[in-house]
Amino acid sequence: MLNDIPDDWDDEASNDDSPEVDFEVDPVVIHEETEDEELDEDSDEETPDPDVDNAVVEFVDLVNARDMDGLVELLAPDVECVFLGETSQAGVIDGLSDLIFRHPDLVVTRGDLGQTPVVATWLLDADADHYRFSGMFTFELSDDGEGTIGRLDYVEEIPDEDLVVEVPEDCERPEWEDWSAQDET
């Protein structure tokens, strides 16, 4: 194809100041990236699973509202939670209810550990009059295809990875304190 240049073509007539390429000496590879290859280049970074993210947001809303019936719907029947020592939906609900009963000031917020959605847990430090980070829940979805949580883990120590969490806002505290008062009755 390059050898099909007409004899009367004048290379000097071109006003192009770009460097010349000698196609006989300089190798030129023309390659169009496909969409699959573009995704593979970014595969070093995990993309968050939107179903896990949705489960995290729903878990936050349900726990802060103390809605155990809603949590039943969010958890798979065979959900595992090593932290609570439970491998059933009823056991995990009982464990979470007990946790909330023992810590009525518990508040959870949305967070990210790298690209992984997590739930940060906060306890009110009455002496300092603010919430302090106490740990986080991580999630795995069940295989049921319905977006239910199949595994729930709790981590108390702050990981070395990038952890970004929403801090509970003081303006929301009266609402959470109302829930705490209801839990104590």
Q: Under a CB-based contact definition with an 8 Å cutoff, are residues 110 and 56 in contact?
A: yes
Is residue 34 in a domain? no
pLDDT digits (tens, 9 = 90+) for 50-66: 889 999 999 999 999 99
**Per-residue pLDDT tens digits for 14-25:** 455 544 444 444
* Contacts with 182 (C-beta within 8 Å, 6 or more apart), sequence order: 66
CB atoms within 10 A of CB 21: 10
Q: Is residue 172 part of a domain?
A: yes
Q: Cα–Cα distance between 28 and 24 in angstroms, integer?
A: 10
- How many independent structural domains does the chain possess? 1
Inter-residue contact 116 to 46 (CB < 8 Å): yes
pTM tops 0.85, yes or no = no
Q: What was the pLDDT predicted at 102?
A: 94
Is 126 part of a structural domain of the chain?
A: yes
User: Is 177 a domain residue?
Assistant: yes
Range of the domain at 106: 50-184
**Which amino acid appears at position 85 of this protein?**
G
Q: Which residue from 66, 47, 49 is spatially nearest to 149, judged by alpha carbons?
A: 49
179: domain CATH number is 3.10.450.50
Q: State the first-to-last Cα distance of the chain, in angstroms, to the nearest integer.
A: 86
Structural domain contains residue 45:
no
Task: Indicate the range of 20-24, 94-98, 115-119, 135-139 predicted with least confidence.
Answer: 20-24
Does residue 11 lie in a domain region?
Answer: no
Assess if residue 179 is contained within a domain. yes
Give yes or no for a contact between 111 and 164, defined as CB atoms under 8 angstroms apart: yes
* Residue 115 maps to a domain: yes
Q: What pLDDT score was predicted for residue 39? A: 47
Residues 46 and 114 sit within 8 Å (Cβ to Cβ): yes
Closest CA to 93 of 69, 109, 110: 69
